[in-house]
């Protein structure tokens, strides 16, 4: 590369990357627009984070048919729901289903959506065999799931995975925005405390030792204000997007259970089905079991109608 090649302006970013950068700044922290060349500075980190989200979306299992028939035939669906009726209850209570079912009149009669739930285990005692003796005080752990949530419906699997990438990336940005909001709240609290102690010292009403407290507050307040400068926020966002793993990760979970949800111990010799799940750890630090679910529109419509009928009956 010659000397004059270094003097040439950098080629413009492709429109798609520029669009993602603007979306990123809008969601994460609009003040970053006050910094010079923020689009080009953020572009590599944005691409890296999007690649990370795409990789996670590709690993999420599915689509899994979530129907009454699947409850009887599929061990995973049988473990996720306590009964076949619980599938209808989830569909009827889902805001996603209520909002989108009417617009999804597909020839296939199905739609794909993200299904998330919490993985729980409960300890207790149950019936078991000890040699030829039946015991009723055998320690057992039971697998069950709560907080079933459907989101981001799509006409097909490809569209669902695209929406999943958008959802994961948006969650990453909202996590950063929440962190910035916490930093601002801390700065405001420090500023109020600093003003109170400073006023007490001026009025000579402060207890002994408050001078040292005021000095410590001044240092923390200076550091907090510095961290919230647009340039610092830009660098923090670049760091988050360049290293998204602590903020967004996927971990495999395998567990062997019988048809009653009893977890088999490693040396129990107990039969059952080995289930494989993926747990997503996102910005709330809690783990969600996630999969792509195929929803039958007729079953969803029937579930909604049953719920509406029950409500009318209660009102009457």
Check pLDDT > 60 for residue 269: no
Q: Taking a C-beta distance cutoff of 8 angstroms, is the pair 292, 157 a contact? A: yes
Pick the range with the lowest mean pLDDT from 73-87, 193-207, 208-222: 193-207
The Cα 284–Cα 172 span in angstroms is 10
Mean pLDDT of the residues in the chain = 85
- Tokens coding 280: 């997503």
Residues 6+ apart with CB under 8 A from 34: 230
pLDDT value, residue 58: 94
Task: Report the pLDDT averaged over residues 132-146.
Answer: 78
CA angle 131, 133, 135 (to 5 degrees): 115
CB of 262 closer than 8 Å to CB of 141: yes
Question: Shortest CA distance to 24 belongs to which of 58, 55, 48, 54?
Answer: 48
pLDDT at 207: 64
The predicted structure's pLDDT at residue 109:
76
Pick the more confident residue, 38 or 302: 38
Encode pLDDT of 165-176 as tens digits. 999 999 999 999
**310 or 236: which leads in pLDDT:** 236
Task: Encode pLDDT of 110-131 as tens digits.
Answer: 888 899 999 898 887 766 655 5
Q: pLDDT tens digit string along 274-283?
A: 999 999 988 7
What's the pTM?
A: 0.82
pLDDT at 140: 83
Supply 281's token pair.
């750890």
**What is the rounded distance in angstroms from the CA atom of residue 100 to the CA atom of residue 114?**
13
Write the pLDDT tens digit of every residue in 219-229.
Answer: 999 999 999 99
CB-based burial of residue 256 (10 Å sphere; 0-12 exposed, 13-18 middle, 19+ buried)?
A: middle
pLDDT band at 8 (very low <50, low <70, confident <90, very high): low
Looking at per-residue pLDDT, the higher value among 44 and 306 belongs to: 44
pLDDT higher than 80, residue 147 = yes
Average pLDDT over residues 19-31: 96
- With a pLDDT cut of 70, the percent of the chain lying above it is 84
- Calculate the CA dihedral of residues 257, 258, 260, 264 and round it to 10 degrees: -50
């Amino acid at each position: 590369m010659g000397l004059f090649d270094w003097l040439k302006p950098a080629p413009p970013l492709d429109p798609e990357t520029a669009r993602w950068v603007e979306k990123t700044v809008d969601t994460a922290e609009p003040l970053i627009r006050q910094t010079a060349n923020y689009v080009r500075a953020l572009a590599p980190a944005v691409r890296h984070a999007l690649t990370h989200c795409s990789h996670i979306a590709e690993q999420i299992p599915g689509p899994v048919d979530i129907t009454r028939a699947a409850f009887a035939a599929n061990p995973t669906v049988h473990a996720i729901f306590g009964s076949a009726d619980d599938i209808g209850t989830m569909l009827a209570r889902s805001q996603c289903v209520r909002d989108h079912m009417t617009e999804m009149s597909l020839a296939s009669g199905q739609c794909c959506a993200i299904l998330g739930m919490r993985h729980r285990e409960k300890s207790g005692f149950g019936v078991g065999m000890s040699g030829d003796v039946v015991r009723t005080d055998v320690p057992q752990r039971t697998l069950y799931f709560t907080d079933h949530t459907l989101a981001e419906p799509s006409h097909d699997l490809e569209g669902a995975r695209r929406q999943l990438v958008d959802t994961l990336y948006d969650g990453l940005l909202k996590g950063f925005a929440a962190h910035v909001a916490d930093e601002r709240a801390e700065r405001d609290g420090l500023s109020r405390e600093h003003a109170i102690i400073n006023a007490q010292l001026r009025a000579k009403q402060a207890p002994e030792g408050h001078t040292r407290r005021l000095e410590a507050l001044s240092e923390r307040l200076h550091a907090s204000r510095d961290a919230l400068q647009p340039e610092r926020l830009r660098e923090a966002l670049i760091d988050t997007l360049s290293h998204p793993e602590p903020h967004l990760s996927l971990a495999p979970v395998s567990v062997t259970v019988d048809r009653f949800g009893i977890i088999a111990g490693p040396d129990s010799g107990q039969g059952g089905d080995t289930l494989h799940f993926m747990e997503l750890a996102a910005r709330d630090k809690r783990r969600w079991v996630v999969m792509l679910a195929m929803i039958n529109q007729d079953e969803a419509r029937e579930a909604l109608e049953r719920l509406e009928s029950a409500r009318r009956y209660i009102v009457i």
